[in-house]
Chain A
């Protein structure tokens, strides 16, 4: 946990390290000022000043009484001025340490957030599949806020409390070494008890965060699907679902905090026990040895309380750390997630051509030989060909294609692009050259231009229009009042499914890839437009290898070659005419589709 703090406080370490220095000054003064106050009160009441600063102060007061013989109560001025000075020093140290601590902690939070977010960007598809969006959001916000608070506390209090503790313990030993041993015994007992509380509470905190993710998920799903909720008038049902989720968060928080609630009574118990023991032993000691008088006992009890309240502050830091621990663990978990797909050591930066070859490829999403999504796939595609990939839902069409830009790595066998194993390419190079339009496509908040420029951020307006024309999107875009500057809402919800798909294709084309993969990317586009897109592809980008995944045979019948997938296997491969002849199922489907279609 501290490793995390140290590692990610980069750039703010000076502040983090300087903080304790000023905290020390502030703490020291703060430990002393009450003594001065006590002295003044003692003296005002006509008693001897009895604190540890009194002996020094007595000398100073005596000196000034010599200087100003006519002034009454000189001690008040002396104490007053010294206190004022100390207060000013303490004030500035306090402010400086506070500013340093916040600077360091907010900087730390920024760093962790950045490092974690950057790390998530390295995640492969497999890694992404593992985490839910809501859980990653919690990690990046709530969890980091928790850590930040504990970091701030740690830099401030964790130095202050031990200082006061040591300061008081030394004083106690100076006053009476025999009684001081009580604290030496009591402190570890307190620490152990607190440690027990912490370890017992921790699992509940962990659970609480899991429930937190679940709650987040309900909210997220409800906002995303608000139309569905309203259409089905399932608000009461969703309310119940949410109440259950929030209840579980509350229950686990309560379970954890109920244990934490033991904290103060335990500390009180130890303090009171010490007071009792000190009272008894001290009294006996005074009576037995005629050592000191009643006020010695008082002094001692004061120390007892001071020592143990210093420990209490330490325990507060502990508490913060416990809460932060669960959060830290979650952050570290995400940070330590090893991207399953990484750049090779000596990557190749050039893709020669758009040829693709699969050699005996097996693939399983769960790394289980029993659950293969692809079985022994082999085929070879020349550069520039148009390839139709056809098959029923769940036949493995998308899976095969996702191996080409290395979104996943095959479990066995090799995938070659341009004659070289995809694992040897620089990832960025490979994915720039292999442009894939995903089935579940997303547009982002921003203008149409912004979205298109994902493909190439330096693209000129002319280029944008060119690719949009290729993807048959220019016509509808230019009809929008703001044309290419039209604002797209989150998820692209303000354009139709077909429009979204065409914008996504245009975006992919902007990359000028050697290989283009369309994963069912024209399903919401009408057949005519679909045909126009394919025609444009043929004419405008003939050298690009094009993979078209589709469930409509009409979309792929004019391909150079068709891969017919079935159940993770290649059922047949060949031209449309060949498949019609050789494959009964294909033939039947074709008949069914053309009969039903226009």
Chain B
């Protein structure tokens, strides 16, 4: 993994990201935002009016009372008025804060959800090139970086903006020359923000990236913590961590250093601006230039103070904004990642047969057909049989590195096709193409005579049952895991599937049987047990085509021989693709394909291949070794 010596990573088009983010927030919370703006205005108005009440208390009521101490009524009235306003102010502040909580959290939730929904549509390739922790970081660190910005910065900026605009109008009407002076210094502030902001934001971007790298590192290393222990590898792992951690500190420090320096700079530029304006104003007032009076001068200074204050407040938020921009860029990058393309329009439907004709029905019949809508809108139903054919298929994970060369093969419904060959020969790759985890570069694959590109991906995959080499289980009960692919399976079906896979024996020995909760990818289950669960999981789905990729590799031969019976049962009437290095597992296949370097070098039944006395024969007799 290349290390960034350069800590600065560009944020592309910060304003585009900002406006996209704002649009997002607005889209999700339109009504609430309008309400919040109203509440902000109410709060501002009540604040101003309560101040004017205070002024009238001091200017009018107190002198009146001094003159006429008996008459308490005006004091009481004004106090009542004040308390009324205060209550409104408190209420609006609370309502505002309350609504903001919802705006913030709803936005974060929806963003996370959309990211996840989108991630689920991404092609396998996307995941091949990233560590798990790196992707996870987008959901946590990057999304979190938005929280402060949405809940604090945006409202702060909004209210500041309102103030700035209204004060600006007042300023122009008072003195345009002084306004220019003020605007000049504001311009200075903006330049400061721009220069420092640019530096800061690049480091923030780097910060988020390193954070994701750290996340990836921790994820990988903690998953492998036991191996680390066994190998006394703690020190090396610590060193690797230190490198990232030091980088992290460096970019974090630099990013925040600049951002935080901005606050006092802007704040104090405000005071400088005030001082300069005061001097210029005083000269103007004295010379009487343009009818500028002493009274106008005082008023202008007040405006000036009100004008620069909100800018200072905005600068307090600047580091949060930069951090959020960096996070948002990574979030949008995920959202903009191109999802799996699916131009297929052939769908899988339930059918029943009447007088030799297929009729589409809504209810579950366990009979399926491909539904193809022709160009003239007529519907064609093709019975799902499980006939899979490859025509001159060529494929490589990289365009220029071909893994499979001109593969042609056919599997008729109910046939069992086995792939044997050394690792890297392309066995697993072939199965990855049938379910379109990857798309082929040349050639065609058909399923019941239909080009699989024309079949809706979801339906294509639904019609294929796959047991992968590495069994992946999900947190949940054993039962949940078995019925993973068939949500509405009954308990009876679950037990049936488990029995078929010979998994019920060990499940029953678990503390809570089928309701035993497993976490962390199956935790304490052995590899073999996990494979049994995977077989049960596919059995319950009842797919017409089965792909077994080293499905029994971790199961001992004894158990395998027990499972075999169930497997035979499972394979009955289905098209099955088997990958196995134990030749005993593939012996009874209808056809065996011997693969070598992406080419089929031998094919035939067990007997035929033995007869042929080629590679397979050598493998079988042990004269030649696989892998």
Contacts and interface: CB of A to CB of B under 8 A. Distances in A.
The finding on whether chains A and B are genuine partners in a shared complex, rather than unrelated, reads: yes
B487 interface: yes
Given A268-B93, A520-B527, A596 B144 contact: no
Nearest to B510: A394
Interface residues of A, number: 173
Contacts of B234: 121-122
Given A91-B267, A496-B550, A498-B581, 18 more contacts: A26-B264, A90-B264, A95-B265, A215-B139, A242-B117, A254-B101, A257-B105, A275-B86, A283-B62, A394-B509, A441-B227, A442-B227, A444-B221, A479-B424, A523-B528, A551-B557, A592-B558, A593-B558
B627 A258 contact: no
Nearest to B67: A287
A110 B249 contact: yes
B469 A497 contact: yes
A264 B97 contact: yes
A493 B127 CA distance: 11
How many of chain B's residues touch chain A, expressed as a range? 35 or more
Given A141-B214, A593-B561, A407 B556 contact: no
Contacts of A475: 627
Contact of B218 (A141, A279, A444): A141
A93 B225 contact: no
Interface in B596-627: 620, 622, 625-627
A249 B107 CA distance: 12
Interface in B186-236: 211, 214-215, 218-234, 236
9 shortest interchain CB distances as A-B pairs: A94-B264, A551-B556, A225-B472, A98-B260, A45-B298, A261-B97, A294-B58, A44-B298, A76-B282
Interface in B105-133: 105-106, 108-109, 112-113, 116-117, 119-121, 124, 127-128, 131-133
Nearest to B249: A110
B474 A444 contact: no
A239 to B, nearest CB: 5
A223 B256 contact: no
A535 to B, nearest CB: 13
Contacts of A237: 487
Interface string B262-277: 0111011101101110
B98 interface: yes
A450 B430 CA distance: 30
| Chain B CB within 10 Å, residue with most, of A99, A118, A283 | A283
Contacts of A93: 264
B121 A235 contact: yes
Interface stretch (A167-175, A178-186, A353-361, A432-440): A432-440
Contact of A279 (B79, B97, B119, B276): B79
B249 A107 contact: yes
Nearest to A252: B105
B559 interface: yes
A435 B487 CA distance: 44
Interface stretch (A33-41, A49-57, A377-385, A459-467): A33-41
Contacts of A265: 90-91, 93-94, 97
Nearest to A597: B557
A87 B75 contact: no
A137 B225 CA distance: 13
A407 to B, nearest CB: 7
A428 B625 CA distance: 38
Interface string A93-107: 111011101110111
B127 A142 contact: no
Interface in B524-553: 526-529, 541, 550, 553
Contact of A551 (B214, B229, B457, B558): B558
A101 B253 CA distance: 10
A246 B113 CA distance: 7
B137 interface: yes
Contacts of A495: 423
Interface stretch (A58-66, A77-85, A540-548, A576-584): A77-85
Contacts of B462: 233
Interface stretch (A1-9, A344-352, A524-532, A558-566): A524-532
27 contacts: A37-B271, A37-B305, A44-B294, A80-B279, A87-B268, A91-B264, A91-B267, A91-B268, A110-B249, A114-B242, A137-B219, A141-B218, A142-B144, A223-B127, A228-B484, A242-B116, A261-B97, A265-B97, A294-B63, A393-B506, A393-B528, A431-B232, A436-B230, A457-B236, A489-B128, A490-B220, A498-B553
Given A499-B423, A552-B556, A84 B109 contact: no
B417 interface: no
Contact of B58 (A238, A261, A298): A298
B328 to A, nearest CB: 17
Q: Is the interface of A mostly helix, strand, loop or mixed?
A: helix
Contacts of B564: 596
Contacts of B279: 76-77, 80
A109 B214 CA distance: 13
B493 to A, nearest CB: 16
B62 A243 contact: no
A229 interface: yes
A105 B65 CA distance: 55
Contacts of A26: 264
B594 to A, nearest CB: 15
Contacts of A294: 57-59, 62-63
A137 B249 contact: no
Given A109-B252, A246-B109, A217 B475 contact: yes
Interface stretch (A128-136, A187-195, A414-422): A128-136
B101 A261 contact: yes
B554 interface: yes
Given A231-B468, A254-B101, A497-B553, A76 B278 contact: yes
A262 B90 CA distance: 10
A265 B105 CA distance: 20
Contacts of B558: 551-552, 589, 592-593, 596
Given A118-B238, A268-B93, A280-B79, A593 B252 contact: no
B83 interface: yes
A507 interface: yes
B393 interface: no
A523 B554 contact: yes
Contacts of B252: 102, 106, 109, 148
Contacts of B116: 219, 222, 238-239, 242-243, 246
